[in-house]
A and B are shown apart, each in its own frame.
Chain A
């Protein structure tokens, strides 16, 4: 279903039909974003629910001069990042769990999927923001409350990991 900016007014008035149309139009995009970062369908479903509840409850604060999709994505990524932070503090072994293949996003041989599959959640998020969302390191630093060099080093290390993986595979075929 197509979404036009005129529906924003109805959405801001709390119209249910507009809320449903907004969900139909943007839920696949937001769900994919969250799922690629979390690599868990269960968590992605919960975070998508929270994201749309935040969108509907805070639509009055949206400035129509800015991009609506960017605003939605920001809320979704923010919720995802908060979830990662909560998990990290609640469970120290989460990095180990994250490194375990869950096959939620391993449906094809896409290079990006391969890369994301190898990374822990937090690094996966940084890589997603840098490559797919094309955020700058300055933007990522704002999101993660860390320095620009933090995300720069993650990008550098992730690329190295991908190169090494390719090397191992190349030697393995001989």
Chain B
């Protein structure tokens, strides 16, 4: 029979193996050695790893998911600050553009006003447009936003143009 080779250290021996063991000096020696080695294993003293191992682990492990970190807050504040600056810039630029359009429209309106002629009597269509113009001007006084003012000024410009056209009249038109 072959020498004993247990499947595991604590595995029980079969009857055949026990018979072999009683006759084989080499296997007896091996069994004694294995028992000695196993008892030595329980006497081994545990070694403490150097402190730098934990320091390295601390450095390389991912951030604590259970605790809010300063980094998270820092990232969030930076993003918020960038958004605020962006929004402020966009609003300033938009306001500047509206102001520019407003100034241009005011200048056009004033130029058109100077073309109006003061008449003793006005026609019915003229009177109708004048009433609409007055309504627009009233709205213009009450308008708060620049955009609303721009729209009203554009309407005012159209009405003044219409009045100028009516005042100039058709070249072929004549009165009796």
Contacts and interface: CB of A to CB of B under 8 A. Distances in A.
A32 B9 contact: no
Interface residues of B, number: 36
Given A13-B65, A27-B53, A130-B9, A53 B37 contact: no
A14 B47 contact: no
A56 B64 CA distance: 11
A115 B44 CA distance: 13
B5 A156 contact: yes
Contacts of A163: 29-30, 33
Interface residues of A, number: 43
B46 interface: yes
A23 interface: yes
B49 A135 contact: no
A29 B41 CA distance: 12
A112 interface: yes
Interface in B42-76: 43-50, 52-54, 56-57, 60-62, 64-67
Contacts of A14: 62, 64-66
Nearest to A132: B41
Interface stretch (A41-49, A64-72, A80-88, A91-99): A41-49
Nearest to B41: A132
Interface in A106-156: 110-113, 115, 130-132, 134-138, 152, 155-156
Interface in A31-73: 31-32, 35-36, 41, 44-45, 48-49, 52-53, 56-57
Given A14-B66, A28-B46, A53-B60, A152 B5 contact: yes
Contacts of B61: 16, 19, 53, 56
Contacts of B11: 136
Interface of A: 10, 13-16, 19-20, 23, 27-29, 31-32, 35-36, 41, 44-45, 48-49, 52-53, 56-57, 110-113, 115, 130-132, 134-138, 152, 155-156, 159, 162-163
Given A14-B66, A49-B57, A53-B60, 12 more contacts: A27-B54, A32-B46, A44-B49, A49-B53, A49-B56, A49-B60, A56-B62, A110-B44, A132-B41, A135-B8, A137-B8, A152-B5
Give the 8 A-B CB pairs with smallest separation, nearest first.
A136-B8, A112-B40, A14-B65, A31-B49, A28-B46, A132-B41, A16-B64, A152-B5
